Structure 1
Amino acid sequence: MSALFLGIETPGTGTHPASWRRPDSRAEDLFTAKYWTEVVTTAETLGFDAVFLPDSFALQEGGPEVVRGRLDAVAVAARTAPLTRRIGLVPQVPVTHTEPFHVSKAIAALDFASLGRAGWEVTVSTRDTEAAAFGRKEIQDAAALWHEADEAVEVVTRLWDSWEDDAEIRDVPTGRFIDRDRLHYIDFEGDNFSVKGPAITPRSPQGQPIVTVRADDPSSNGIAVHRADLIRITAPDLATAATHRFALRAALADTGRDPDAVRVLLDLPVHLADSIAGALADVAELDRWAAGIGQRAAAGTDRSAAGVSAVELRHVGTVIELDHLLGEIARSGIDGVVLRPLALHATLSALTAHRAPTATSAAQLTLRDRLGLPRPVSRYAAGAAL
């Protein structure tokens, strides 16, 4: 991939728990379709390659002064799909309380709706409240959660492959819509799932939508190395990020995967303003508001609250300085960046004011095309490599 892949994560009004209090937050529109379609179309106009849509089965932590509630990420992505042409749509879908058959169908449907621009970020459910919301099992430890997630990804990807590309024949003279010989049982038996298949959704435009995993800890690192097309990382500086990417590529090679067939993206929390002083003052004000509602500790430790770890590289400053930093990141060998705005609309407004709109190519590229990744052949097709 020659150019730095650029994504943006869109967590409501921003990753900072007090971001909704800014007058430009548009918090009053947060649960409307217009809010999300404008966010995603603006990101596309600004040239972002993908938008990452967070989701969870839990309410955001904090008191009533914190934004509470969220819309379904897959539904948001599906709503924005027909209004966009080039940007990748990557919703989070937790697997702990979700059947992989449902995940497979939802993401494949999104790939159809977006003409091949769908991805899936794999997440797990770690809270008692999430387990209680479903009532089917108790909370699990990290190792059990990610072992289950590993099996879930295996089931989902097998289901995506269970229809060969040419399974739809639509043969009017014989009255056959599909060739049953090109539909396949997946016959998966694991510790958590027993799924026969095949899928009920035909093979989607990308064949396999892009699978994303955050490599946050040893438990998620393993599934990232074995299953992900995109691996998201955090780091306190560029040298550490480059070292982490090198280690991941070595681990990929050790498992028999081609390291060049996986992209490593660095998460970068940002806040943008017209000057460094202005950006710093904005963040200080957000922190004061957060401290007033008892969230200051969360601002340094909880990704789901402020989203900025005390050891996480971040940029608070101007767009010009951000461009310089992105250049340094590209030269470090990192494949791409996911911006995580502390205040979403402040970041989008600053970028809009300083960057010309990106011309939309007439060619329809899939997310795999944009990442420079090949379209895989169904593992069940005759002659496919096992």
Structure 2
Amino acid sequence: MSQPNPPLLGIELPGTGTHPASWRRADSRAEELFTAEYWLDAITAADAAGLDLVFLPDSFALQVEGAVGRLEAVGIAARAAAATHRIGLIPEVPVTHTEPFHVSKAIASLDFATHGRAGWEVGVSAGQAGLFGRKGEQDAPSRWHEADEAVEVVTRLWDSWEDDAEIRDEATGRFIDRDKLHYIDFAGDNFSVKGPSITPRPPQGQPLVAVRAADAHSTRVAVHRADLIRVAATDLDEAVRVRGELRGAIAAAGRDPNLVRVLLDLDVHLAETPEAAAADLDRLEAWTPTASNTLRHIGTPASLRDLLAEVRTECAGDGVVLRPLAVATFVTRLPAVAPTLRDRLGLPRPINRYALTA
């Protein structure tokens, strides 16, 4: 089974860590969670270490355990844009109660701010309809059907300006060529959007779309829409099987599997020795016992590198998303590769669908 080169290394930054007791560690900086400095320090450290992607989870719901409360992921990414140099910034934006026009504009703006390093992780919202009062609660199939339509609208809006729509003709006073702005005329079950966007086409053409393939509904959207598909597995054998099934489904959907990256989630805790890492985990578990279905690595930076090499050798993923149990302990380093996020992934800049038919 082929695997694109080079493998990607990402990190997810869920507050103080994926372990719900991580905020209780003395080094957690939990008191700074709602400051720009906390997030800038974590993201710029990942950037300096050579990581390829940072995922910023978000939700309209409060956490049920651990540190409670959230800053908005797109806002965090925008704050980090000027402070980082190569890492791809991928905030999660739930679409169940968010208009795709707003999502399109926000992610396009982030792509401009980062000079082509933006992405969007598609999320859905369960149990939060009462926060908005606009519609009733939806079941999983309808939420993901709506998300599928939202991705279609967002990506059409990114294409609604041709690349050379801005002409800035001082002599005639024409800033844009209106013939190169296009109505998207989308009419679906959940949205009816005429367009065009009010934001020019982003530097990448299409910022990367990421989807977690967590069930049949999200997997279907991932297979048809995503550039990055995140998966969880209990071991490498399961990861190999899941990646193979996804690549087959992507091909069956008429897409090239080599243009889609399957990223394996990996819960990780690192220390100077395996014994120290295990002791840290024991303390976290004593505070709040957990059960996880996600592959977990408790060890040292060297043993993590060995595992990452095994992931590649076994074709268990086109890359890994590290999910630190406690963010403050994260240490690893990979070299820089290419200037823009799509270039780094070896993905071509998409041709504008409207320019083709103009």
TM-score by length of 2: 0.96
Counterpart Cα distance in 2 of 1:52 and 1:359: 19
Q: Which digits, 9 at most, give the CA deviation of each residue in 1:206-234, with x for residues without a partner?
A: 01000000000001010000000000001
1:378 is aligned, of 336, 340, 352, to: 352
1:326 match = 308
Unaligned runs of 5+ in 1: 291-295, 301-308
Counterpart Cα distance in 1 of 2:84 and 2:188: 38
2:52 match = 49
1:335 match = 318
1:155 is aligned, of 133, 153, 156, to: 153
Query: Once the 2 structures are TM-superposed, how far is the Cα of residue 383 of structure 1 from its aligned partner?
Result: 5.3
Counterpart Cα distance in 2 of 1:378 and 1:27: 44
Counterpart Cα distance in 1 of 2:304 and 2:336: 23
Counterpart Cα distance in 2 of 1:140 and 1:383: 37
Q: Which digits, 9 at most, give the CA deviation of each residue in 1:242-283, with x for residues without a partner?
A: 111111111111111111111100000001111212111111
Q: Are 1:268 and 2:250 an aligned pair?
A: no
SS of aligned partner of 1:278: helix
Query: Once the 2 structures are TM-superposed, how far is the Cα of residue 239 of structure 1 from its aligned partner?
Result: 1.7
Query: Once the 2 structures are TM-superposed, how far is the Cα of residue 3 of structure 1 from its aligned partner?
Result: 2.0
Count matched residues: 354
Question: Structure 2 matches for 1:112-261, cutoff 5 A?
Answer: 112-127=112-127, 130-261=128-259
Query: Once the 2 structures are TM-superposed, how far is the Cα of residue 126 of structure 1 from its aligned partner?
Result: 1.1
2:25 match = 22
Counterpart Cα distance in 1 of 2:44 and 2:36: 12
2:82 match = 82
SS of aligned partner of 1:280: helix
Counterpart Cα distance in 2 of 1:379 and 1:331: 37
Q: Which digits, 9 at most, give the CA deviation of each residue in 1:332-367, with x for residues without a partner?
A: 22210000000001124xx4xxx5xx6767xx7111
1:314 is aligned, of 296, 303, 312, to: 296
Instruction: Tell me if the contact between 1:3 and 1:330 (Cα under 8 Å) persists in the aligned partners.
Output: no
SS of aligned partner of 1:382: helix
Give the aligned residue type for 1:47: G
TM-score by length of 1: 0.89
Counterpart Cα distance in 2 of 1:138 and 1:284: 43
SS of aligned partner of 1:177: strand
Counterpart Cα distance in 2 of 1:224 and 1:119: 14
Counterpart Cα distance in 1 of 2:304 and 2:118: 27
Query: Once the 2 structures are TM-superposed, how far is the Cα of residue 330 of structure 1 from its aligned partner?
Result: 1.1
What value does the CA root-mean-square deviation take over the aligned residues? 1.3
Query: Once the 2 structures are TM-superposed, how far is the Cα of residue 382 of structure 1 from its aligned partner?
Result: 3.0
Q: Are 1:37 and 2:40 an aligned pair?
A: yes
SS of aligned partner of 1:312: coil
Tell me which stretches of 4 or more aligned residues in structure 1 moved more than 4 Å. 358-361
Counterpart Cα distance in 2 of 1:359 and 1:145: 39
Counterpart Cα distance in 2 of 1:13 and 1:313: 19
Counterpart Cα distance in 1 of 2:42 and 2:103: 24
1:304 match = none
Counterpart Cα distance in 2 of 1:206 and 1:249: 24
149 and 359 in structure 1: CA distance in 2 versus 1, 3 angstrom threshold: closer
Q: Which digits, 9 at most, give the CA deviation of each residue in 1:179-211, with x for residues without a partner?
A: 111100000001100000000000010010000
Query: Once the 2 structures are TM-superposed, how far is the Cα of residue 178 of structure 1 from its aligned partner?
Result: 0.6
Counterpart Cα distance in 2 of 1:172 and 1:382: 28
Counterpart Cα distance in 2 of 1:225 and 1:336: 17
1:277 match = 275
SS of aligned partner of 2:309: helix
Query: Once the 2 structures are TM-superposed, how far is the Cα of residue 237 of structure 1 from its aligned partner?
Result: 1.2
Percent identity at matched positions? 65
